[in-house]
Chains A and B, each alone.
Chain A
Amino acid sequence: GAGVSQSPSNKVTEKGKDVELRCDPISGHTALYWYRQSLGQGLEFLIYFQGNSAPDKSGLPSDRFSAERTGGSVSTLTIQRTQQEDSAVYLCASSLGQLNTEAFFGQGTRLTVV
């Protein structure tokens, strides 16, 4: 596709349920990033995939959060047993993974846990 695509754009879920958020990066981009943004706040780093290297999971806030990237392309962020504090916009970005190239962001998934 022309840009980074995220689905769903909005998700409302009940506390305790599991959710999956999907990210389709730009074709050919080796680097993929997940961030979380609470209302009016900055970007909180979650996880980073770069090519075939082991992902940097240092930003995942708890073991309820996990992510995978299949075939070096599509990524899924999974949140198990959702809590109300998980409510936020989850942003995915991709880049060529080079120092002088910008990251391109998707429109985000707005997650609301009720």
Chain B
Amino acid sequence: AQKITQTQPGMFVQEKEAVTLDCTYDTSDQSYGLFWYKQPSSGEMIFLIYQGSYDEQNATEGRYSLNFQKARKSANLVISASQLGDSAMYFCAMSRRNTGNQFYFGTGTSLTVIP
């Protein structure tokens, strides 16, 4: 069975500092994708970044990067130069080819950026 684990229910970071949000996953599949989403208090789900299981390079999108360690089955999100607008819930998700690319989500981490 697939499982996404986010062990940090809440995190705080000082504005302009970097922060790492942890995500581990459990699958025996070879082909899978890892995603991070942001959910601000408005409730919308915003896609941030994607990493494929066969990608050798860590994904980066602006201030977001994904620290992918395949052997450890971890896909941590790194946000550099935090901004007040980064305060939100962050969800890690996995899609698996063997289940028709269905998405499985973690329980989320609440990030608060302190001015």
The total of Cβ contacts below 8 Å across the A-B interface reads 62
B residues contacting the other copy or chain, number (CB 8 A): 25
Interface size on A, residues (CB 8 A): 26
Given the known inter-chain contacts A50-B102, A93-B103, A98-B101, please indicate yes or no for A42 contacting B91, CB distance below 8 A: yes
For residue A3, which residue of chain B has the nearest CB? B44
Residues of B within 8 A of A (CB): 31-33, 35, 37, 43-45, 47, 50, 52, 91, 93, 95, 97, 99-108
With a cutoff of 8 Å between Cβ atoms, the chain B residues found around residue A99 in the complex are 31-33, 52, 95, 97, 101
> A53: which of B43, B91, B100, B104 is its contact (CB, 8 Å)?
B100
A43 in the interface (beta carbon within 8 A): yes
Contact A45 B101 (CB under 8 A): no
Residues on the A chain within 8 Å of B50, using CB: 100, 102
Sorted nearest first, the 8 A-B pairs with minimum C-beta distance are A105-B45, A42-B107, A102-B47, A43-B105, A50-B100, A48-B102, A42-B108, A99-B33
Q: With a CB–CB cut-off of 8 A, which chain A residues contact B102?
A: 31, 33, 45, 48, 50, 56
Determine if B31 and A42 form an interchain contact, defined as CB atoms under 8 angstroms apart.
no
